[in-house]
């Protein structure tokens, strides 16, 4: 049911956002599947980067752990909110990429919650004695999408201010 509600919104997106969404969703689910069937721990770069399969019952940093229904409902609300603000942004490559990444990442973790019961994480980084919380491709897409949306917002605000200052005429003083 929840998946259907979100997919109805996807139908009304432009094709560029949909393609990006499905590429992210496919790569996310494929990598999760590949890591999950091996259930392994792999050192990629010693003392820095590891593949370490874990299950996350919550959201980022295990917030709301064990409250899957709340997280599923929250995901639906976030997707509806994003859908509404998406049309306040210009239709350009940066915004298409940002919203495609956001929706692809959100739906990747949403699919895990609905069909698996938890989110599958596997990318693990260590900085000295600090272990950064393990995450996945969907999480990365969400973060990159948010960063691109912030850049787009700043850029559009700058253009609005720039247009106002160029459009105003100064009085000549003698």
Q: Which residues are annotated as catalytic?
A: 121, 139
CA distance linking residue 147 with residue 124, whole number of Å: 21
CA distance linking residue 137 with residue 108, whole number of Å: 8
CA distance linking residue 12 with residue 18, whole number of Å: 9
CA distance linking residue 136 with residue 119, whole number of Å: 9
Per DSSP (E only), the strands in 21-84 are 41-45, 49-56
Burial of residue 143, with CB atoms counted within 10 A of its CB: 0-12 exposed, 13-18 middle, 19 or more buried: middle
Q: What are phi and psi of 136, to 5 degrees?
A: -140, -175
Residue 96 tokens read as 């298409």
Consecutive H or E run containing 160:
helix 137-167
């Amino acid at each position: 049911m929840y998946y259907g509600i979100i997919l109805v919104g996807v139908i009304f997106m432009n094709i560029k956002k949909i393609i990006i969404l499905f590429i992210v969703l496919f790569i996310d689910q494929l990598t999760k599947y590949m890591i999950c069937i091996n259930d392994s721990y792999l050192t990629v770069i010693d003392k820095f980067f590891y593949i370490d399969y874990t299950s996350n019952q919550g959201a980022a940093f295990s917030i709301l752990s064990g409250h899957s229904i709340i997280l599923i409902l929250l995901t639906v609300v976030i997707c509806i909110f994003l859908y509404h603000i998406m049309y306040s942004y210009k239709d350009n490559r940066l915004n298409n990429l940002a919203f495609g990444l956001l929706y692809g990442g959100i739906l990747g973790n949403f699919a895990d919650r609905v069909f698996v019961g938890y989110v599958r994480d596997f990318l693990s980084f260590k900085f000295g004695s600090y272990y950064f919380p393990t995450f996945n491709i969907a999480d990365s897409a969400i973060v990159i999408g948010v960063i691109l949306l912030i850049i787009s917002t700043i850029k559009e605000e700058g253009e609005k201010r720039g247009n106002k200052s160029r459009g105003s005429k100064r009085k000549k003083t003698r």
